[in-house]
Structure 1
Amino acid sequence: MAHVTPTDPNEPMPGPSHAGPDGPPLVPGWTLRAAVRVVELRLRFVALMAATGLVLGYWDTLAGHLEKWRRPAGGEAREAASRVAYFCPMHPAVVDDAPGHCPTCGMPLARRVGGTDVASTEGASPRVRLTPGRVAQAGVRTVAVGLVRLEERLRTVGYVGFDEGRRFRVASNARGQLRVDRLLATSEGLTVRAGQKLAELYGYDLSQAIRQYRDARAAGGEGAGSPGGPGAAPATAPPGDPEDRIALAAEALRVLGARQDQIDAIAAGGPSAGLLPVLAPIDGQVVRKYVIEGQYVPEGEPLFDVADLGRVWIVAQVFEDQLGRVEVGRGVEAEVPAFPGEAFPGRVAMIAPALDPATRTAAVRFELDNPGHRLRPGMFATVTLGLAPAPPAPREQATCPVTGLKLNSMGGPVPVEVAGRTLSVCCPGCVPKLESDPGRYLAAPGASPGDAALAVPESAVIDTGSRQVVYVEVGPGVFEGRAVTLGPRSGDRYPVLAGLSPGDRVAAAGAFLIDAESRLNPATTGPP
């Protein structure tokens, strides 16, 4: 019987020829064609992915070849090539005339097309022109350069301590071992007056000498002595001059170590059992107590520390490179965490004669009045003090004070005598300007009284490593980079030694963005 091939596309695909006896016979070639078709589709997908990867991997090479094919021939090609530069987006200072990689970070150099090269005058960069919208977007703010009084302030940390000139140690000054018979200053922190009794000491020899002194005064009618009461004289008056007896008894007390103020206190006191009073030397507070009642103390044993906290010291450390500008007598302000936001005035009292070799710092002592005893010894403190102005570095005149140009740039320098000084200007046309208004042009450090000097804000300075540049506004939205010579920083400003004139307006905010614009987009630059 003849085999009929099905023509209906919806008819199910026949199975293999070895199907069961009840099923229809299957075509073996159909399965083979389906397998080949699946393999072909997969190979096409793999080839497409491989081609995509090759294009992405060699994109720079393909783009370079494409650019080469599209490059115009002859003079047009050379002119176009002169306008093409390659720069690093992360380090705009890296610029090359050929593709490559940044030597700093390894990134591929990006391509840019700029205008024609412009010649820059010495000391000035090409001018950058920005629209008002770009100026507002970049937050550019300009300030006028003028004379300011430079004062650098130093912040250091230290701790509050006692004024050692107002701190006294009270010790046992009598000969031998004495017993603390009565302790009147029983705790630390007590406020005492000068001459107030802090304790009373007992010793046998000292007690006998005290009784003899009191008896001698009682016999001479000069005070209370015997147990009979104040002013009572002994039953039998001893022979001899009463004044001599009193002097001899007082001398005996001095031999045993009693001081004159203690002898006076014994003479002024009432009847006593022969105890030696221990007196406060000054008005102040008991800051240390070393003994307890009943304790035996030898000669020289400390009993109390009494201090006047009406004035305190702060000791801080200053590095040696700043030590030469710290002057004794300069005012300071101290702050402590206990009173945030409150400044305590004082002055520099002493600078240590030697440095700590480990930290390379020297101790500086500040004295502060302490009304109300709010500053307590042991507190940490932050001290702010003004440094003396740095001595100006000796230098020769290099620029014209009128135009700011370097001397010899317009011929030989022209000397001119003004304000008792001999200066040089770049040309004869600058002489009448300088003579008519010398105060405007003689704005260099040392040319004005006091510490005033021509200065620019720190934020206006772009330090490239090899030179320092500020951007001067020479017109609306037009900025010119100008190399300057600066002195040591004083606070948030730099004194200008050369490169600027009074009245110049510099970009105090946004100078970095202007510098980046001049490097990344040469089309915005023009001749200075």
Structure 2
Amino acid sequence: MKRTVILLVCGLAFLSCTRPKPAALPETKTQNANGGRHEAASEGNAVELTPEAQQRAGVTVTPAAVIPMTQYLQVTGSVQPVDSSVAHVRPLARGRLQEVLVKAGDRVASGQVLAQLDTIEAGELAAQYNSALSELQRFKIQMAAQQRQVERNRRLVEIGAAPQKDYEFSLAEEQALEEKIRGQESAVSGLSARLRRFGINQAEGNPSPVTAIRAPFSGVIIRTSAAHGEVVDPGAELFSLADLSSVYVQAQVYEKDLGRVRAGQPASITLDSYPGEHFPSRVVSISDLVDPQTRSAAVRCQVSNSDGRLKLDMLAMIRFPTSTKRAALSVPADAVQTIEGKSVVFVRGSPYRFSIRPVEAGLTSEGRTEILRGLNEGEPVVSKGAFALKSVLLVRKLGEKE
């Protein structure tokens, strides 16, 4: 919608500066330098602009030229998660899943609860913790009573109302209780640490055997095998979580082309989902194993994906620049426009007139696009301002339809 509005605004602005339409030109056919044939533009496929309008639109004309262009190795790959960014979430103990809160494809935050697990071991630990805590409290009560007894015997001994041995005996019992309390506190601390491994906070009182299984980091659930009511063992994988802020695009490169790829080499990624966009990447690994069936090896390129637009298993095209250059007919990349799904350029036929020329575009490299068919060397092509001419043409066609 935004692009359509821009086209309308640009088109209306420049239509006011176009020259009156001359009589329609007859259609002719000419031979181009690449062996193909192209048709001369008809009146409906031409745009006329005054010099003033061309200046405002920033129209610049550059001849199509044959120049050396970097050759690219082009292979098809797919988007995959980075191995070190995938976590396999498993329970710590055997139990029954009371609730599953996420599904494959969900985005989760670090620490978010994925499932609730009723664990037998956690229940037993909770019971042991409660028992140990009660025993510790009992020892502390006994200690308080024993301390009063020690103080009473000390006073009786001082006034000669009790033998010294009674005081010494009560003091020994106090020391024994102190040891029992220290031992019990250690047991409670150990059980508390084991409960924390299950995500149970004993400070809340009466810890429940139901534990929360949480996400270790933020990411996307890429696989789940957890079902409500299912009994699971400690080794069972419940969820696979991937951090997709950075992903691999992996491709199989034929053995004969492996010498043209090296680790650390830059590469350009394109996807059908985002036409015209290039995602910069870098080769991070080249497999040491060649598939004996396909005679190819896996090559991985790492791509930043902070906006999450690259989805797992999307097909992508990887272009590796090589040291080889080849002379090819090319034009500035901005000269190539897309109209009705076809690549076109605007060729200047006179100081005022620009005709649409359908072309077959090849690879784009270093700001220039290779032209495979539809154009001759030296023909004057609009290299800047082509979008403005396209806007005028589309607005005029829209007006003719109405």
So what's the TM-score if we normalise by structure 1? 0.40
User: Residue type matched to 2:95 in 1?
Assistant: L
Query: In the superposition, relative to structure 1, how do residues 322 and 492 fare at CA in structure 2: closer, same or farther (>3 Å)?
Result: farther
Q: Once the two structures are aligned, what percentage of the paired residues are identical?
A: 27
Question: 1 or 2, which has the higher strand percentage?
Answer: 2
**Structure with max Cα Rg:** 1
Decide which of 297, 309, 315 is 2:232's aligned counterpart: 297
Query: In the superposition, relative to structure 1, how do residues 333 and 215 fare at CA in structure 2: closer, same or farther (>3 Å)?
Result: farther
Listed one character per residue, the Cα deviations across residues 66-106 of structure 1 (whole Å, up to 9, x for unaligned) are: xxxxxxxxxxxxxxxxxxxxxxxxxxxxxxxxxxxxxxxxx
Structure 1 residue 139, shift from structure 2 partner: 6.2
State the distance in 2 between where 1:194 and 1:236 align. Answer: 41
Listed one character per residue, the Cα deviations across residues 233-252 of structure 1 (whole Å, up to 9, x for unaligned) are: 7897694225412343257x
Query: In the superposition, relative to structure 1, how do residues 195 and 214 fare at CA in structure 2: closer, same or farther (>3 Å)?
Result: farther
Structure 1 residue 204, shift from structure 2 partner: 3.1
Structure 1 residue 347, shift from structure 2 partner: 0.8
Decide which of 314, 331, 336 is 1:379's aligned counterpart: 314
Q: Give matches, 1:10-25, under 5 Å.
A: none
User: Residue type matched to 2:91 in 1?
Assistant: S
Equivalent position of 1:192 in the other structure? 108
Query: In the superposition, relative to structure 1, how do residues 268 and 303 fare at CA in structure 2: closer, same or farther (>3 Å)?
Result: farther
Equivalent position of 1:182 in the other structure? 99
State the distance in 1 between where 2:231 and 2:293 align. Answer: 44
Structure 1 residue 277, shift from structure 2 partner: 2.6
Listed one character per residue, the Cα deviations across residues 94-131 of structure 1 (whole Å, up to 9, x for unaligned) are: xxxxxxxxxxxxxxxxxxxxxxxxxxxxxxxxxxxxxx
Decide which of 270, 290, 312 is 1:355's aligned counterpart: 290
Secondary structure at 1:332's aligned position in 2?
A: strand
Structure with higher RCO (Cα < 8 A, 6+ apart): 2
Structure 1 residue 292, shift from structure 2 partner: 1.7
Structure 1 residue 349, shift from structure 2 partner: 0.9
Q: Give matches, 1:123-138, under 5 Å.
A: none
Structure 1 residue 375, shift from structure 2 partner: 0.6
User: Residue type matched to 1:182 in 2?
Assistant: E
Decide which of 133, 149, 163 is 2:82's aligned counterpart: 163
Decide which of 181, 186, 191 is 1:240's aligned counterpart: 181
* Alignment size in residue pairs: 240
Structure 1 residue 269, shift from structure 2 partner: 5.7
Contact 1:458–1:492 (CA<8 Å) still a contact in 2?
Answer: no
> Is the counterpart of residue 262 in structure 1 residue 262 in structure 2?
no
State the distance in 2 between where 1:267 and 1:166 align. Answer: 32
Query: In the superposition, relative to structure 1, how do residues 293 and 325 fare at CA in structure 2: closer, same or farther (>3 Å)?
Result: same
State the distance in 2 between where 1:280 and 1:206 align. Answer: 19
Q: Which runs of 5+ in 1 are unaligned?
A: 1-135, 221-232, 391-454, 460-490, 494-507, 511-528
Secondary structure at 1:240's aligned position in 2?
A: helix
So what's the TM-score if we normalise by structure 2? 0.51
Query: In the superposition, relative to structure 1, how do residues 138 and 250 fare at CA in structure 2: closer, same or farther (>3 Å)?
Result: closer
Q: Give matches, 1:437-476, under 5 Å.
A: 457=327
Secondary structure at 2:187's aligned position in 1?
A: helix
Query: In the superposition, relative to structure 1, how do residues 234 and 295 fare at CA in structure 2: closer, same or farther (>3 Å)?
Result: farther
Listed one character per residue, the Cα deviations across residues 250-289 of structure 1 (whole Å, up to 9, x for unaligned) are: 57x3xxxx7x6535x5346665422233121111122222
State the distance in 2 between where 1:290 and 1:138 align. Answer: 61
User: Residue type matched to 2:181 in 1?
Assistant: G
Contact 2:79–2:310 (CA<8 Å) still a contact in 1?
Answer: yes
User: Residue type matched to 2:188 in 1?
Assistant: I
Question: 1 or 2, which has the higher helix percentage?
Answer: 2
Contact 1:211–1:274 (CA<8 Å) still a contact in 2?
Answer: no
Contact 1:191–1:285 (CA<8 Å) still a contact in 2?
Answer: yes
